[in-house]
Structure 1
Amino acid sequence: MLRLGALAAGAPAVLGATASPALAGGHRPPSLVVGHRGASGYRPEHTLASYELAARLGADFIEPDLVSTKDHVLVARHEPEIGGTTDVASRPEFAARKRTVLLDGISVTGWFTHDFTLAELKTLRATERIPAVRQHNTLYNGLFPVPTFQEILDLRKRLSKELDREIGVYPETKHPTYFRELGLDLETPLVQVLRRNGLDRADAKVFVQSFEAKNLEALREDYRLRAPSIFLTSATGSPFGDTRTYAEYLTPAGLKKLARYADGIGPDKSQVIPRKADDTLGEPTTLVKDAHAAGLKVMPYTFRAENTFLPADYRVGTDPAAYGRAIDEQVTFLKTGLDGLFTDQADIGVLARSATYAHV
């Protein structure tokens, strides 16, 4: 059994900074490794440094979350609220921008990308979102600006040439209904940027993802998006403004309807293998089998190496920030037949895939 044990947090060189996505014999990987927000286990998320490191660690795809600026430019942030991912709170010139908005029905207070022009946003610098768990990442606070979607695609193009393999991009539309109501729809600039870069093709190494099924349906039918798309699902609740629950979408009948305008699903990993009452890992559900029967790919989120994110039986020691048996956990999930997985540490995903498919 592979054990990650207590590797030093933020030390990708331990696992091999030039990890290759190819398996023995040069076969195509049977499961994709998606660099979740880049290599967010090692660098502040959604920065060019994070995306570049993910690619160099072997990620097949890099994953930016997209929101809009005041002047309708797509930038990469996990949420439109940026108080926890940039240094905006320490910038007196922007103190008056702090306010409270209703974000998908929830009151949120902070600073929001749609209150900043791109030029203003570019004066800010990224900070680590979860410093208590990823203290090492705070070393890089203040170094990296907020990237635009175009800058990410430019980086992807450069790295694909340098690494001699095509790096895919996996953009997510964040809160599309919210931005549309502000007059800053995400769909128009997303499709325009993809087309300008020659990536709006059915065979493009692109997956456009959203937690709102209606957003994906509109992209396919109204905006004529040809690039593949993925419906993200939560373990509970419903897409914003939707009468159907995520659970209803994931029934065999729901999956078949979803396949009319989506190419796959990105479920919470607990929907693939739930945890028991004691927080240990349980038995797989039928979700992977049901989705594949409907012709849909399955790429769950999010795999992280730290104990605090792992099932109880995969933790090592009691320090929530220490690494547990992350490779073992990912191998267990990959054995259900996944088409890919989202991980904050791409090198660990590459190792887990190699261990799972060593016979391929």
Structure 2
Amino acid sequence: MMSTTTSPLVIGHRGASGYRPEHTRAAYNLAFTLGADAVEPDIVATRDGVLVLRHENEISGTTNVADHPEFADRRTSKTIDGTVMTGWFTEDFTWAELATLRARERLPEVRRDNVAFNDSEPILRLSDLLELVDQHPEAQRRQLQVVAEIKHASYFESIGLPLDELFATEVSGWATADNLIIESFEQSVLHRIRDRGIPGKLVFLLESRGAPSDLVVRFGAQARNYAEHLTEDGLAQLALEVDGISVDKKMLMVKDLPGNLTGTNDLVPRAHAAGLLVFCWTLRAENRFLPKNLRSSKQPEQFGDWLGEFRTLMDSGLDGVFTDQPDLAVTARG
């Protein structure tokens, strides 16, 4: 099997979520068929400790849970990582209950074609995805990878659902140094997973503002924010702790006053100099997600000059890109 991959790694963001509802079997299968090197599941837990694939533990926007009268009394409000959310939460359901739900398009106003696939597929478990990766026809031709995002680890730990332990149990025996990358906005859960003997690269996710939730839990207002992690000293320290960083694409972009993309900044070369891999998210083709000068019209759902943005970002030397349209990222890379 050929295991080499052209740089940057093309990662299907929640599968090929530009073409199918995210985190569904169809989205993941299509991502690999379209040439993605890896797929990215977001991982949360059920009440009985089953790891399931959803963008958030709040699932009203990505499933038909609101149409199930038997679950009406589960609707509630919670504070997750400092944000108040109202809806239905995976940790209030058993896996058997969640298995009765069906997936829906998260961005129906932009991804109108995807709405046609609403309610046709169930929620997947992490175990389902690992099986899909092993059985996909592309796995006979090349190394397929999973970039697993561990979501809200401090929160889940606080309610007795330690994601590091659950994840390590699930991937033990499947994971290798070549097929798994583990990412999170909380470094502590990455280290606990590595301490459990799970192979694979560790990637620290960073936002453009704020501070990591695990640090806020420990240090409150004194928590080191994301920006401080990206100073020279911060990058040098990160290189001792993780294999790479993954940032919002806007953290790499240089724009003029009207909002036109003019190039990229020095974050990628600075991180590389510190010894870190660098990934960015999320490459999307629709006008809504593109800089002003790359939009084709005022219609947010239409494709703009995605090639211009994708290539500008890739030319910075990125090691990996998350994309909703893997075929377009493969084209840009080529």
TM-score calculated relative to the size of structure 1: 0.87
Aligned to 2:180: 206
Task: Select the residue among 119, 122, 132 that pairs with 2:99.
Answer: 122
Tell me if the contact between 1:279 and 1:312 (Cα under 8 Å) persists in the aligned partners.
yes
Q: Partner of 1:75: helix, strand, or coil? A: strand
Deviation of 1:161 (Å): 5.7
Are the structure 2 counterparts of residues 150 and 212 from structure 1 closer, same or farther at C-alpha, using a change threshold of 3 Å?
same
Paired residues for 1:45-60 under 5 Å: 45-60=22-37
Paired residues for 1:169-208 under 5 Å: 169-197=146-174, 199=175, 201=176, 203-208=177-182
Matched, 1:345 2:322: no
Q: Partner of 2:72: helix, strand, or coil? A: helix
Aligned to 1:285: 265
Query: How far apart in 2 are the matches of 1:328 and 1:284?
Result: 12
Query: How far apart in 2 are the matches of 1:318 and 1:161?
Result: 38
Deviation of 1:214 (Å): 2.3
Query: How far apart in 1 are the matches of 2:252 and 2:284?
Result: 16
Deviates more, 1:34-43 or 1:203-212: 203-212
Query: How far apart in 2 are the matches of 1:258 and 1:194?
Result: 25
Q: Partner of 2:255: helix, strand, or coil? A: coil
Matched, 1:156 2:133: yes
Query: How far apart in 1 are the matches of 2:152 and 2:48?
Result: 17
CA offsets 1:52-88 (integer angstroms, 9 cap, x no match)? 1000000000100000001001010000000000000
Percent of matched pairs sharing the same residue: 44
Query: How far apart in 2 are the matches of 1:185 and 1:160?
Result: 34
Are the structure 2 counterparts of residues 265 and 311 from structure 1 closer, same or farther at C-alpha, using a change threshold of 3 Å?
same
CA offsets 1:219-264 (integer angstroms, 9 cap, x no match)? 33x4343311110111111111421111111112111111222111
Query: How far apart in 1 are the matches of 2:211 and 2:254?
Result: 19
Tell me if the contact between 1:305 and 1:345 (Cα under 8 Å) persists in the aligned partners.
yes
Aligned to 1:226: 199
Query: How far apart in 2 are the matches of 1:154 and 1:92?
Result: 32
Tell me if the contact between 1:35 and 1:62 (Cα under 8 Å) persists in the aligned partners.
yes
Are the structure 2 counterparts of residues 215 and 275 from structure 1 closer, same or farther at C-alpha, using a change threshold of 3 Å?
farther
Runs of at least 5 residues in structure 2 that lack an aligned partner in the other structure: 216-222
Letter in 1 for 2:329: G
CA offsets 1:301-322 (integer angstroms, 9 cap, x no match)? 0010100000011110111110
Q: Partner of 2:115: helix, strand, or coil? A: helix
Letter in 2 for 1:171: A
Q: Partner of 1:302: helix, strand, or coil? A: strand
Deviation of 1:139 (Å): 0.3
Aligned to 1:322: 302
Runs of at least 5 residues in structure 1 that lack an aligned partner in the other structure: 1-21, 355-360
Matched, 1:238 2:215: no
Task: Select the residue among 244, 251, 254 that pairs with 1:264.
Answer: 244
Tell me if the contact between 2:188 and 2:214 (Cα under 8 Å) persists in the aligned partners.
no
Tell me if the contact between 1:216 and 1:261 (Cα under 8 Å) persists in the aligned partners.
no
Deviation of 1:217 (Å): 2.9
Structure richer in strand, relative to its length: 2
Query: How far apart in 2 are the matches of 1:226 and 1:68?
Result: 21
Query: How far apart in 2 are the matches of 1:117 and 1:101?
Result: 18
Are the structure 2 counterparts of residues 107 and 263 from structure 1 closer, same or farther at C-alpha, using a change threshold of 3 Å?
same
Tell me if the contact between 2:206 and 2:226 (Cα under 8 Å) persists in the aligned partners.
yes
Tell me if the contact between 1:38 and 1:62 (Cα under 8 Å) persists in the aligned partners.
yes
TM-score calculated relative to the size of structure 2: 0.94
Deviation of 1:162 (Å): 5.4
Letter in 2 for 1:134: R
Aligned to 1:14: none
Letter in 2 for 1:215: V
Q: How many residues align?
A: 326
Are the structure 2 counterparts of residues 256 and 146 from structure 1 closer, same or farther at C-alpha, using a change threshold of 3 Å?
same
Deviates more, 1:58-67 or 1:280-289: 280-289
Q: Partner of 2:300: helix, strand, or coil? A: coil
Aligned to 2:282: 302
Matched, 1:273 2:253: yes
* Runs ≥4 residues deviating over 6 A: none
Deviation of 1:28 (Å): 3.8
Query: How far apart in 2 are the matches of 1:37 and 1:311?
Result: 23
Deviation of 1:150 (Å): 0.7
Letter in 2 for 1:223: R
Task: Select the residue among 37, 43, 46 that pairs with 2:20.
Answer: 43
Task: Select the residue among 59, 78, 91 that pairs with 2:55.
Answer: 78
Deviation of 1:329 (Å): 0.8
Tell me the C-alpha RMSD between the 2 structures. Answer: 1.6
Matched, 1:87 2:87: no
Deviates more, 1:270-279 or 1:322-331: 270-279
